[in-house]
C-alpha cells in the first residue's frame, strides 16, 4: 500500500510541528560497563535465573547426551512431530525447510532450536531468526528445547547488545523461560500461547 | 545563632502540645529559639489546590517573617517541603531573603540530626512503637530511604527515636504507604482517603503497636480521626512528643 | 465533546466495596513488591534510571532527526512507514491496509496506542473481526470492557468472573475458576484464532532509529504467534517510542519488565527488522495524536519518556483502591492523570486531584518522570484556566485572606475551637462536613500554641 497525499501531509505536519519547537539537546549518555553487575560464575547465575523464570537447565558435556535427557521427559517420548535446528544434538521428524506455509506447522510437538548465547542476569537466550526455517517454530510448538554452547554467555544485557550490535537477520529474540501469563488474578500459569515448557541444554563441546 | 520556631497553622490551633514539645526539645539541647509573632501558614493548602495567586502573598509573608533568623525549624515535613521545594514559584530566583529562608528551613528531626548532631537524650518511652513515615518527609525531604528507591539513605527520624530509652519497635508490612491525608485530598477524595487510612491503621494494629508515631501531625490528625471513629486499640503521637519525654497518650 | 470525569464519584462504588478494593490493593502491592526485589538485585538500579531518563530526554529533544533516521532505515529494510496525525487518521490507515488485502479477520497483541485510538471499535464498525490475543485483553474484550491497567488489563476481574465469561463464550465448565484450567481453555480458543488470523497487529515497545528495527516484549508469545503466521504485520506506535541506538535497549530491557511485573525480563523480547521475507509486508504506523504538542510543554514534556510499564499504577495508593476504570481514560493512574488532561483539560480536570501527592510514582518510575510534581503543576494550570469549581476557588481565596492577617487567623481559630467544644455533636459531625463522614474531628484544645507561648515565654 502506498501512502496517500493526506499521509504525506501528515508526515510533514508532524515534523514541522516538532521542528518549530526547538528543545536543547543534552548529550546521549552511554552506559559505563564498570558500573553494571557482572557475575564471577555466570553459568550458575544463568541456571538460577532460568529456574526462576520457569525454565529448566541441563548441563551436559556433549551433544550426544541431549537425546538421553529428553527421553526422560514423558511428553518427549510420546512426541511424534519434532522439528530440529540442532540435528547434531537430536534429529527432527519433520523437515521444516520443505514446508512453505507456516500454518502447516501448527501441530508440531517439539522444536529444538539453537541458541547463540546466554544472558546470566535474566536467564535468557538469544536466538538468531536465520537459524530457523520459520520463526513461528519457536512459538507454535507445544514444547521448546534450546541447545547452547557453554562458552557463549554474557553477564548482562549491555554485553548482550554489544554482541548483536550488527546482527543482520530479519528476526531475533531473547527467550527467557516458557510462555506464561498471570492475567487471571496474578496466578502464574506456564504455557500461555507459546511453549508450555522450556528445556535448555548447555553443552560443553559445542 | 538564633533559630526561629515555625509552628504550622493546624498545630498552633489544634495540637499546641506538639509545638510545646518541639520548643522544649530544642531548648533542652541548648538551642536559642525564638517564636516570631504573626506566623500563620506556609500556603500549602492553596498551593496544592493549584491556587498560585492565593499562595504567593502567604509565601511572601512567611519569608519576610523569618528572613532575619539564622535558621527556621518546623515540626512538619510537609510544610518544610513547601518552603524548600515549592517556594521558588513565588519568588525571584535572586531574591536574597527567599534564598536564605528556603535553604535554612529544617524539619525538626532533620535539624536535630544534621545540625545539632544529637547523640544523647535523657528520656524514656517504654512502649511498642511503629513509625508512620510521612510521604513529604520521606520523598521530598529524604529523611529516610523510601521503599521504592534503591539509593541508600539513613533514617533520621528512626535514628533520633533510637536515642529514647525503652522503645520496642514494631514493623508494619508496608513501611511507607501513604495514609491518605494529602491536605485537601482528604476531603476531595474522602472515600479513597479514608480507605487508605484504615489500611495503614490495620497494618500497625495487627503488628501489636501501641503507638503510631510520625513526624507529621497532619497525617496523624487524619489517622487519629479514623482511630477514634472506629475505636482502634492504638494511639498516635508526634515524634517531638516522644523526644521530649511525654508519656503515652499525650496527643 | 467528552463527558466530565469526576474521579471521586467514579471511584465510589469500587473503593466502598472492601472485598473488591482491598483484594485489588493486595494484588497490585504484590506486583510492586516483586518489582522492589528485582530492583534491589541490581546495584546499578538508580544509575540505570538516570541513564534511561537521559536517553529519553535526548531522543525527545532530537525527535525529528530520529524519526527521519528511523523511517529511512526501516524503509531500507523493506518496511512501509506511515505517519498518522491523530487517532482517526491512524485508524483509517490501518483499515486501508486491511482493505488492500481484503482482510476480514485480524489478531492483535497488546497495544495501548490502539486502545488510545479506539481501533477495535472502529474496525468492528467496519465489519472486521478483531481478536485481542493477550489473555487479559481477551478477557476484557469478551466482557465488553476496557483494560483497567496498561500491563495487567484484567487485574480488576476475579477468577470466578473470568470463569463465568469463559463459560459463556468458550464453553468451559460452569463454575470453574481455576486459573490454570481457564488459561488452558483460552490457549485452545486463541490457537484457532491465530491460525485463522489474516493480518497481525501489534504495538511496539521500542523502535530503533539506527537500525529501523522494532522490539516487542510479551510474556505470552502472542505478538510472535500473531505475526509469524500471517504475511502482513502492522505495528502501531506513538512517535515517542524511539531509541537512537540498538545498544540503548540494554538499558531499557533491563528496566521494563523489572518495573512492570518484577520479572528480570519478559519471556520474549522480539526484534523485528523489516518484513518476515520477500513475500511478506511490515507496515509501521507512526502516530502523533497530541504528542508533538505535549513535546512543546516544558512542564509536561518528560511524560513522553513513559515506557508504559505500569509501575506508577502498582505503587499508587489511589489507583490501588479506586481501580483503573475510575479514571475513565485509556491510561489510568499517575501517568494517565498527567496525560489525559493534555488531551482534554475540562473532561479530565479531576484526575490531577485524584492524588495525595505521596510521590511514590516519581520514585518508582524507571525513566524518572517527576509524576507527582507534574500532577501538582496540572492543578495550577487548571486553576489558571478557571476549571476548578467556584466553591473550591473561593474557599482558597478565603484561606489566603485569613493567613495574611494573623489577628484574624487567631480570632477565627479561637471561635472555631470554642464552637467545636460547645456545639452538639450533630452540628459538627454530619454529612455536610465531609471530613467527619468517616473520621472524628480533633478534640479542640483550650488555648493555641500562640496563647500558650505568650503565657509561658514572653516575659
Residues of chain C contacting A136 with CB distance shorter than 8 Å:
224-225, 228-229
Using CB atoms, pick whichever of B47, B52, B178 lies closest to residue C360: B178
Residues of chain C contacting B38 with CB distance shorter than 8 Å:
406
| Distance separating alpha carbons of residues C407 and A25, to the nearest angstrom | 52
Under a CB-based contact definition with an 8 Å cutoff, are residues C241 and C207 in contact? yes
| Distance separating alpha carbons of residues C326 and C319, to the nearest angstrom | 8
- Look over chain C and give the mean of its residue pLDDT values, rounded to a whole number: 96
Q: In C327-441, where does DSSP find H-type helix? A: 333-343, 360-364, 371-384, 390-404, 406-422, 425-428
Which residue of chain C is at minimal alpha-carbon distance from B50? Answer: C380
| Distance separating alpha carbons of residues C381 and C345, to the nearest angstrom | 9
pLDDT at C274: 97
Residues 6+ apart with CB under 8 A from B100: B67
* Whether residues C274 and C411 fall in one domain: no
| Distance separating alpha carbons of residues A156 and A166, to the nearest angstrom | 18
Comparing C-alpha atoms, which of C1, C13, C32 is closest to residue C316? C32
Contact criterion met (CB < 8 Å) for C46 and B187 = no
Comparing C-alpha atoms, which of C139, C141, C147 is closest to residue C124? C141
CA-based nearest distance C425→chain A, Å: 44
| Helices and strands per DSSP (H, E), number in chain A | 6, 11
Residue C298 falls inside a structural domain = no
Using CB atoms, pick whichever of B15, B178, B190 lies closest to residue C358: B178
Distances (CA, A) of B72 to A58, B20, B243: 65, 16, 19
Contact criterion met (CB < 8 Å) for C358 and B182 = yes
* Whether residues C68 and C190 fall in one domain: yes
Residues of chain B contacting C358 with CB distance shorter than 8 Å:
135, 139, 178, 182
pLDDT at B190: 97
C-alpha grid cell, residue B62: 512567611
Q: Characterize the bridge pairing of strands A180-181 and A189-190.
A: antiparallel
pLDDT at C1: 62
Chain B segment 98-127 residues within 8 A of C by beta carbon are none
pLDDT at B36: 96
A82 sits in which H/E element? strand A82-84
In CATH, what number is assigned to the domain containing residue C267? 3.40.50.10420
C-alpha grid cell, residue C343: 488531551
| Distance separating alpha carbons of residues C418 and C410, to the nearest angstrom | 12
pLDDT in tens, B69-83: 999 999 999 999 999
Contact criterion met (CB < 8 Å) for C220 and A181 = yes
Measure the CA dihedral B48/B52/B54/B58, to 10°. 80
Residues 6+ apart with CB under 8 A from C297: C342
Contact criterion met (CB < 8 Å) for B46 and C22 = no
Residues of chain B contacting C440 with CB distance shorter than 8 Å:
224-226, 228-229
Phi, psi of C20, rounded to the nearest 5 degrees: -85, -55
Residue C245 falls inside a structural domain = yes
| Distance separating alpha carbons of residues C225 and A191, to the nearest angstrom | 13
Which residue of chain C is at minimal alpha-carbon distance from A13? Answer: C85
Residue A146 falls inside a structural domain = yes
Using CB atoms, pick whichever of C58, C136, C267 lies closest to residue A178: C267
pLDDT in tens, C131-189: 999 999 999 999 999 999 999 999 999 999 999 999 999 999 999 999 999 999 999 99
Under a CB-based contact definition with an 8 Å cutoff, are residues B186 and C317 in contact? no
Distances (CA, A) of A67 to A80, A112, A123, A127, A205: 14, 11, 22, 21, 16
Measure the CA dihedral B86/B89/B95/B100, to 10°. 0
pLDDT at C381: 97
The answer, yes or no, to whether B and A have at least 3 beta-carbon pairs within 8 Å is no
| Distance separating alpha carbons of residues B65 and A152, to the nearest angstrom | 68
pLDDT at A1: 62
pLDDT in tens, B148-171: 999 999 999 999 999 999 999 999
| Distance separating alpha carbons of residues C257 and C332, to the nearest angstrom | 19
| Distance separating alpha carbons of residues C230 and C224, to the nearest angstrom | 11
β-pair partners for C362: none
C-alpha grid cell, residue B201: 491503621
Burial class (CB in 10 A: 0-12, 13-18, 19+), C432: exposed
| Chains contacting B (3 or more CB pairs within 8 Å) | C
Contact criterion met (CB < 8 Å) for B52 and C438 = no
DSSP C48-102: HHHHHHHHHHHHHHTHHHHHHHHHHHHHHTT-EEEEESSHHHHHHHHHHHHHHTT
DSSP annotation of A76: H
Using CB atoms, pick whichever of B7, B9, B178 lies closest to residue C317: B178
Residue A13 falls inside a structural domain = no
Supply the Cα-derived Rg of chain C in whole angstroms.
Answer: 26
β-pair partners for C129: C105
Q: In which domain, by residue range, is A97 found? A: 39-203
Under a CB-based contact definition with an 8 Å cutoff, are residues C403 and B43 in contact? yes
How many Cα neighbours within 13 Å face the side chain of C356? Answer: 35
Assess whether pLDDT exceeds 80 at residue A3.
no
| Distance separating alpha carbons of residues B248 and C3, to the nearest angstrom | 51
Share of chain C above pLDDT 90, in %: 98
β-pair partners for B5: B73
How many Cα neighbours within 13 Å face the side chain of C265? Answer: 30
Residues of chain B contacting C448 with CB distance shorter than 8 Å:
12-13, 16
pLDDT at B13: 97
Comparing C-alpha atoms, which of A70, A71, A142 is closest to residue A107? A142
β-pair partners for C84: C287
pLDDT at A5: 73
Residue C26 falls inside a structural domain = no
Burial class (CB in 10 A: 0-12, 13-18, 19+), A83: buried
| Distance separating alpha carbons of residues C329 and B15, to the nearest angstrom | 41
Contact criterion met (CB < 8 Å) for C44 and A49 = no
**Model confidence band, residue B249 (pLDDT cutoffs 50, 70, 90):** confident
- Of C268, C289, C310, which residue is a domain's last? C289
Comparing C-alpha atoms, which of C120, C160, C117 is closest to residue C137? C120
C-alpha grid cell, residue B207: 503488628
DSSP annotation of B62: H
pLDDT in tens, C226-280: 999 999 999 999 999 999 999 999 999 999 999 999 999 999 999 999 999 999 9
Under a CB-based contact definition with an 8 Å cutoff, are residues B210 and B128 in contact? yes
Residues of chain C contacting B57 with CB distance shorter than 8 Å:
400, 404
Count the domains in chain A. Answer: 1
Residue keyed to cell 529428553: A70
pLDDT in tens, A109-160: 999 999 999 999 999 999 999 999 999 999 999 999 999 999 999 999 999 9
CA-based nearest distance B39→chain C, Å: 7
Phi, psi of B27, rounded to the nearest 5 degrees: -65, -40
Contact criterion met (CB < 8 Å) for B224 and C362 = no
| Distance separating alpha carbons of residues C388 and C346, to the nearest angstrom | 9
C-alpha grid cell, residue B5: 520556631
Count the domains in chain C. Answer: 2
Contact criterion met (CB < 8 Å) for A136 and C61 = no
C175: left (phi over 0), alpha (psi -120 to 50) or beta: left
Which residue of chain C is at minimal alpha-carbon distance from A183? Answer: C136
Residues 6+ apart with CB under 8 A from A104: none
Residues of chain A contacting C68 with CB distance shorter than 8 Å:
15
Q: In which domain, by residue range, is C428 found? A: 400-456
* Whether residues C110 and C258 fall in one domain: yes
Which residue of chain A is at minimal alpha-carbon distance from C208? Answer: A165
* Whether residues C275 and C406 fall in one domain: no
Q: Characterize the bridge pairing of strands B211-214 and C105-108.
A: unpaired
Using CB atoms, pick whichever of C29, C363, C402 lies closest to residue B149: C363
Using CB atoms, pick whichever of C357, C439, C447 lies closest to residue B194: C439
* Whether residues C94 and C242 fall in one domain: yes
- Of C230, C257, C289, which residue is a domain's last? C289
| Distance separating alpha carbons of residues C324 and C322, to the nearest angstrom | 7
Supply the Cα-derived Rg of chain B in whole angstroms.
Answer: 17
Buried b (16+ CB within 10 A) or exposed e, C193-229: bbeebbbbbbbbbbbbbbbbbbbbbbbbbbbbbbbbb
Q: Under DSSP, is residue B161 helix (H, G, I), strand (E, B) or coil?
A: helix
CA-based nearest distance C410→chain B, Å: 8
Assess whether pLDDT exceeds 70 at residue A2.
no
Residue A19 falls inside a structural domain = no
* Whether residues C76 and C195 fall in one domain: yes
* Whether residues C271 and C404 fall in one domain: no
Best residue in C219, C232, C286, C302 for a mutation probing chain A (most A CBs within 10 Å)? C219
| Chains contacting C (3 or more CB pairs within 8 Å) | A, B
> Which strands form C129-132's sheet, in the order they lie side by side?
C80-84, C281-287, C232-238, C199-202, C105-108, C129-132
Assess whether pLDDT exceeds 90 at residue C458.
no
Comparing C-alpha atoms, which of B35, B194, B21, B226 is closest to residue B112? B21
Under a CB-based contact definition with an 8 Å cutoff, are residues B169 and B211 in contact? no
Which residue of chain C is at minimal alpha-carbon distance from A17? Answer: C292
Which residue of chain A is at minimal alpha-carbon distance from C89? Answer: A7
Using CB atoms, pick whichever of A24, A119, A176 lies closest to residue C61: A24
pLDDT in tens, A80-120: 999 999 999 999 999 999 999 999 999 999 999 999 999 99
β-pair partners for C132: C108
- Look over chain B and give the mean of its residue pLDDT values, rounded to a whole number: 97
Assess whether pLDDT exceeds 60 at residue C459.
no
Under a CB-based contact definition with an 8 Å cutoff, are residues C237 and C284 in contact? yes
- Of C232, C267, C289, which residue is a domain's last? C289
Residue keyed to cell 497495544: C111
In CATH, what number is assigned to the domain containing residue A102? 3.40.50.10420
Distances (CA, A) of B99 to B106, B108, C167: 14, 20, 66
* Whether residues C409 and C268 fall in one domain: no
The answer, yes or no, to whether C and A have at least 3 beta-carbon pairs within 8 Å is yes
Residues of chain C contacting B149 with CB distance shorter than 8 Å:
46, 363
C-alpha grid cell, residue C189: 480458543
CA-based nearest distance B222→chain C, Å: 7
Amino acid at each position: 500500500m502506498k501512502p496517500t497525499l493526506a499521509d504525506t501531509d501528515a508526515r510533514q505536519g508532524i515534523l514541522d510541528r516538532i521542528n518549530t519547537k526547538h528543545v536543547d539537546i543534552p548529550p546521549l549518555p552511554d552506559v559505563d560497563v564498570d558500573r553494571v553487575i557482572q557475575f564471577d560464575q555466570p553459568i550458575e547465575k544463568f541456571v538460577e535465573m532460568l529456574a526462576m523464570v520457569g525454565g529448566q537447565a541441563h548441563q551436559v558435556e556433549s551433544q550426544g547426551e541431549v537425546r538421553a535427557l529428553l527421553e526422560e521427559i514423558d511428553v518427549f517420548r510420546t512426541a511424534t512431530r519434532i522439528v530440529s535446528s540442532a540435528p547434531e544434538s537430536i534429529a527432527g521428524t519433520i523437515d521444516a525447510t520443505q514446508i512453505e506455509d507456516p500454518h502447516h506447522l501448527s501441530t508440531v510437538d517439539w522444536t529444538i532450536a539453537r541458541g547463540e548465547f546466554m544472558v546470566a542476569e535474566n536467564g535468557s537466550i538469544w536466538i538468531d531468526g536465520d537459524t530457523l526455517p520459520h520463526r513461528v517454530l519457536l512459538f507454535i510448538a507445544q514444547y521448546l528445547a534450546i541447545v547452547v554452547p557453554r562458552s557463549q554467555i554474557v553477564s548482562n544485557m549491555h554485553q548482550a547488545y554489544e554482541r548483536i550490535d550488527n546482527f543482520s537477520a530479519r528476526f531475533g529474540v531473547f527467550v527467557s523461560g516458557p510462555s506464561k501469563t498471570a492475567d487471571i488474578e496474578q496466578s502464574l500459569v506456564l504455557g500461555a500461547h507459546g511453549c508450555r515448557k522450556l528445556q535448555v541444554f548447555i553443552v560443553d563441546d559445542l | 545563632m538564633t533559630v526561629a520556631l515555625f509552628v504550622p497553622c493546624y498545630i498552633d490551633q489544634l495540637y499546641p502540645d506538639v509545638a510545646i514539645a518541639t520548643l522544649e526539645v530544642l531548648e533542652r539541647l541548648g538551642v536559642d529559639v525564638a517564636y516570631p509573632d504573626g506566623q500563620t501558614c506556609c500556603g500549602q493548602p492553596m498551593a496544592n489546590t493549584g491556587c498560585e495567586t492565593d499562595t504567593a502573598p502567604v509565601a511572601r509573608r512567611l519569608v519576610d517573617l523569618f528572613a532575619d533568623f539564622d535558621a527556621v525549624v518546623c515540626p512538619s515535613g510537609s510544610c518544610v517541603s513547601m518552603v524548600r521545594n515549592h517556594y521558588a514559584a513565588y519568588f525571584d530566583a535572586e531574591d536574597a531573603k527567599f534564598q536564605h529562608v528556603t535553604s535554612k528551613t529544617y524539619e525538626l528531626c532533620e535539624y536535630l540530626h544534621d545540625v545539632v548532631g544529637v547523640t544523647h537524650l535523657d528520656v524514656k518511652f517504654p512502649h511498642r512503637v511503629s513509625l508512620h513515615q510521612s510521604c513529604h518527609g520521606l520523598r521530598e525531604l529524604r529523611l529516610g530511604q523510601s521503599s521504592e528507591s534503591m539509593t541508600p539513605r539513613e533514617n533520621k527520624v528512626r535514628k533520633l527515636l533510637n536515642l529514647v530509652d525503652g522503645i520496642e519497635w514494631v514493623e508494619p508490612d508496608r513501611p511507607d504507604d501513604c495514609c491518605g491525608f494529602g491536605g485537601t485530598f482528604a476531603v476531595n477524595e474522602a472515600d479513597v482517603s479514608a480507605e487508605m487510612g484504615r489500611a495503614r491503621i490495620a497494618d500497625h494494629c495487627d503488628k501489636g503497636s501501641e503507638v503510631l508515631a510520625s513526624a507529621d501531625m497532619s497525617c496523624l490528625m487524619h489517622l487519629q480521626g479514623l482511630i477514634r471513629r472506629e475505636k482502634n486499640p492504638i494511639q498516635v503521637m508526634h515524634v517531638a512528643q516522644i523526644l521530649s519525654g511525654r508519656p503515652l497518650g499525650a496527643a | 465533546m467528552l463527558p466530565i470525569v469526576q474521579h471521586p464519584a467514579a471511584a465510589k462504588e469500587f473503593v466502598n466495596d472492601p472485598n473488591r478494593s482491598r483484594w485489588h490493593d493486595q494484588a497490585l502491592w504484590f506486583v510492586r513488591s516483586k518489582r522492589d526485589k528485582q530492583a534491589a538485585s541490581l546495584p546499578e538500579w538508580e544509575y540505570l534510571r538516570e541513564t534511561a531518563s537521559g536517553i529519553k530526554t535526548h531522543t525527545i529533544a532530537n525527535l525529528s532527526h530520529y524519526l527521519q533516521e528511523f523511517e529511512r532505515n526501516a524503509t531500507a529494510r523493506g518496511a512501509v512507514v506511515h505517519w498518522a496525525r491523530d487517532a482517526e487518521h491512524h485508524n483509517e490507515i490501518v483499515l486501508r491496509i486491511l482493505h488492500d488485502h481484503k482482510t476480514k479477520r485480524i489478531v492483535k497483541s497488546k497495544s495501548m496506542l490502539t486502545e488510545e485510538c479506539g481501533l477495535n471499535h472502529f474496525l468492528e464498525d467496519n465489519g472486521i473481526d478483531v481478536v485481542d490475543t493477550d489473555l487479559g485483553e481477551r478477557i476484557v474484550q469478551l466482557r465488553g470492557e476496557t483494560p483497567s491497567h496498561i500491563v495487567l488489563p484484567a487485574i480488576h476481574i476475579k477468577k470466578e468472573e473470568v470463569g463465568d465469561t469463559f463459560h459463556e463464550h468458550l464453553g468451559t465448565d460452569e463454575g470453574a475458576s481455576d486459573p490454570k484450567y481457564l488459561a488452558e481453555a483460552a490457549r485452545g480458543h486463541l490457537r484457532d484464532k491465530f491460525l485463522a488470523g489474516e493480518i497481525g497487529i501489534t504495538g511496539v515497545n521500542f523502535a530503533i532509529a539506527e537500525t529501523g528495527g522494532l522490539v516487542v516484549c510479551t510474556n505470552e508469545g502472542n505478538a510472535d504467534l500473531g505475526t509469524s503466521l500471517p504475511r502482513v504485520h502492522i505495528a502501531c506506535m506513538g512517535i515517542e517510542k524511539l531509541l537512537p541506538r540498538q545498544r540503548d535497549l540494554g538499558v531499557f530491557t533491563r528496566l521494563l519488565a523489572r518495573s512492570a511485573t518484577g520479572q528480570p525480563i519478559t519471556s520474549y523480547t522480539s526484534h523485528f527488522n523489516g518484513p518476515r521475507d520477500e513475500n511478506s509486508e511490515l507496515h509501521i504506523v507512526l502516530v502523533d495524536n497530541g504528542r508533538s504538542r505535549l513535546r512543546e510543554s516544558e512542564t509536561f514534556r518528560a511524560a513522553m519518556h513513559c515506557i508504559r510499564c505500569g509501575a506508577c499504577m502498582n505503587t499508587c495508593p489511589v489507583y490501588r483502591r479506586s481501580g483503573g476504570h475510575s479514571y475513565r481514560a485509556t491510561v489510568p493512574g499517575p501517568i494517565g492523570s498527567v496525560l489525559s488532561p493534555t488531551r482534554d483539560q475540562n473532561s479530565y480536570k479531576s484526575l490531577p486531584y485524584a492524588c495525595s501527592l505521596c510521590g511514590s510514582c516519581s520514585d518508582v518510575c524507571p525513566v524518572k518522570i517527576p509524576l507527582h510534581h507534574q500532577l501538582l503543576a496540572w492543578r495550577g494550570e487548571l486553576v489558571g484556566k478557571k476549571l476548578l469549581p467556584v466553591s473550591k476557588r473561593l474557599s482558597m481565596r478565603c484561606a489566603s485572606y485569613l493567613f495574611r492577617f494573623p489577628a484574624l487567623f487567631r480570632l477565627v481559630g479561637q471561635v472555631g475551637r470554642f464552637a467545636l467544644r460547645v456545639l452538639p455533636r450533630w452540628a459538627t459531625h454530619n454529612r455536610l462536613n465531609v471530613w467527619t463522614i468517616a473520621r472524628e474531628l480533633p478534640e479542640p484544645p483550650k488555648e493555641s500554641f500562640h496563647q500558650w507561648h505568650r503565657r509561658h515565654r514572653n516575659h
